[in-house]
Amino acid sequence: MKNQESNKIILKASAGTGKTYRLSLEYIYNLLKNIDFKNIVVVTFTKKATAEIKERIFDFLYQVAFEKSKGIELKKNLKEIYNLSEDDFDKEKLQNIYFEMLKNKEDIRIYTIDSFTNRIFKQAIAPYFEISSFETLDSESSDFYEKIFKKIMDNENYYKKFEFLIEEVGEKKEIKNYVKIIEELVEFQKKYVIAKNFELKEEKKDNQKKVLEVFDFLTPLQEIYSEVKIFSEEKGKNISECFNDKLFEIFDQIKKQSENSSEKKIEIVVKNLEKILDSKIKNYYNGKFIRKKELTEILQELQKNFLDKFSKYILKNKVYPFHNKLKEFCEFLYDLVRREKISSKKFTHDDISIYTYEFIFDKNLKFIENNKFTQDFFEIIGGNIDTIMVDEFQDTSILQWKILKLIMDCAKNIICVGDEKQSIYGWRDGEKELFENLDEIVDGSKVETLKKSYRSYKAVIENVNKIYCDYDEKSNWNYEKVDYKAEDAEYQKGYFEFKINELESKKSPTEKRIFKNIIQMIENKEIKNLGKSCIIAGKNKYLSEIASELNAYNIPYTLKSNKSILEHSAVNPIYRLIKYFLYNNFQYLLEFLRSDLIGCLNSHVKYILENKNIIEIFMKNSKEEDFDLFLENFDFNFDFEKNKNENNENNENTKNINIERIEKREREKEKKKK
């Protein structure tokens, strides 16, 4: 058979419908089309799936090439699916391919998505970083983020870049909360690297018009006040009664300001932003008193006008500046993180995907021309790719897709297999819409559906169809029902029941009812074998609540939780202090001081950081007997004074650590030495 025109298929297949079988047939079909097995790439999502499909391909090829028992049915299916004739099967050629593949297994290109990206990174990007070998991590450790945070805190220039975030998020009790911000921003990089060229663009207007727009949202607020005031005077009511009781004070404060104090008025509005934008507040006026249709329409229009203009003000004066600062900090942070990872030669799978996508476009590497990979690139990663097959496509993240799409644009044949049902969960950062609309994204592709399940019983299939048909009605998703093996009596068996309870709130009594249902099912012997029964919950606290209920009824269980004694609120601060003494990492001391056990505020941390060198010198040079003196001289009882810089509104007290005593102690030691 000659190498025919390109073949691009989007295969929608539920679990048990024969995805691996069909992919293996696609592989054999490509060999029949005279495509070299070295130029066929198969991408799966697990090592188990990789081993399974490789084994299946060898088995199918052997059965067809040597005309074994299963080969007859395989040939029949190949003929039906791909419209082949007997002449298309060259037995001798297939046998030669089989032996060549056996001898050159290292040339068979079947990978997990992570190992495939890893290969591109190792061959194409790592040399650019001057790295010959590296370690791959499943995930980054918390110590890494703490190390990055410490670098930021230790460097004055770095800290200045981070300071705006501290001001934005406000007072945080524990250092780990700031470390968490760093972690979340680093996690966000896989989205940032795709969207980093996106810019928030302000409309270009003359300066005078800009100035007018800044204060423009005040006008409808003042008009609301005026309209309500006129109404209250006509009805002989106090104006405060005619306003929403939560908002009158704000309107009254604005009204009391002079005509020229627009900045003060804006300050009042911004300060009360949460109240004004509270979704529970439908109207700014009191609907019990103001019912006149004409007036309510005017007030609602003014309210809408205010919200429209105020949102533009927030966008211009809050969102744009914050976006620009955040973008600048992210660029700095990602550069710092990258340098740290290159230095340690340790990368997570996400890191590898990020740096592969980011640097593949580097003009110095010359891997991309006209938005397509060059021949140099393919030579580096192991040869051309004529056919690419992607299994479990619904789990493909946007970042992985960006890399795969570049390869697909160069391939003649594309086969993408996935299950739309699984795509709704977003596992591995998969995007439901990506697989759902893949036929529109991949030019010239056609959609096929595998409808019959060869694995599950009738009862299971019918209930799965019911669940997803209900989901279809709510989400406007065109779900296609799955069939079962009706001709096989064995598959008519089975039992399936599901109960869906929608919680009214986080502390809904419905949860208790669910626990009771589980216990009743156990007591009524509906759940017969406790050893083969499992309860899964989304959070450790839910498991603890369920365990408590089981204890109350003396039902035996084994609880598996990720909790550690070191996470206990009373233990963790001491653990951090011990780590500080052990590793001399100032980060751990800060975490100890910021814990609930000690409760230092931002002002304390800042003061300690400013005197960090003095503390470290003392700790480094002190002996055991000095430590007792240190405790005596160090004012752990704190001096209390009114906090003038932080939480002034709540009149909270702050505690100033007396560092001067440490300085005095150091000076005395120096005198003794002299």
Q: Which residues contact 381 (CB under 8 A, 6 or more apart)?
A: 119, 120, 123, 124
| 346 phi and psi angles, rounded to 5 deg | -130, 125
Q: What sections of 236-319 are H helices per DSSP?
A: 248-256, 262-271, 273-276, 293-314
Q: How far apart are CA 660 and CA 614, in angstroms?
A: 10
Length of the chain: 674
The answer to whether 13 is annotated as binding is yes
The answer to whether 19 is annotated as binding is yes
Contact 173, 629 (CB under 8 A): no
Joined together, the tokens standing for residue 305 give: 């006008």
The answer to whether 356 is annotated as binding is no
Strand 8-13 relative to strand 446-450: parallel, antiparallel, unpaired?
parallel
The answer to whether 14 is annotated as binding is yes
The answer to whether 449 is annotated as binding is no
Q: Which residues contact 414 (CB under 8 A, 6 or more apart)?
A: 6, 7, 8, 9, 387, 388, 389, 408, 442, 445
Strands (E), 392-495: 413-418, 446-450
Q: What sections of 171-261 are H helices per DSSP?
A: 175-187, 189-195, 207-216, 218-235, 248-256
Residues linked to residue 390 through DSSP beta bridges, in sequence order: 43, 416
Contact 600, 593 (CB under 8 A): yes
* Residue 482 DSSP label: P
| 44 phi and psi angles, rounded to 5 deg | -120, -175
The answer to whether 15 is annotated as binding is yes
Question: Which residue's structure tokens are 């799409």?
Answer: 405
Strand 109-112 relative to strand 413-418: parallel, antiparallel, unpaired?
unpaired
Q: Which residues contact 148 (CB under 8 A, 6 or more apart)?
A: 182, 186, 333, 336, 337, 340
Contact 334, 192 (CB under 8 A): yes
Distances (CA, A) of 570 to 463, 471, 567, 576, 655: 48, 45, 8, 11, 22
Q: Dihedral through CA 40, CA 44, CA 50, CA 55, nearest 10?
A: -60
Q: How far apart are CA 262 and CA 219, in angstroms?
A: 10
Query: Residue 177 corresponds to which amino acid?
Result: N
Contact 18, 454 (CB under 8 A): yes
Residues linked to residue 8 through DSSP beta bridges, in sequence order: 414
User: Where is the binding site, in residues?
Assistant: 13-20
User: Where is the binding site for ATP, in residues?
Assistant: 13-20
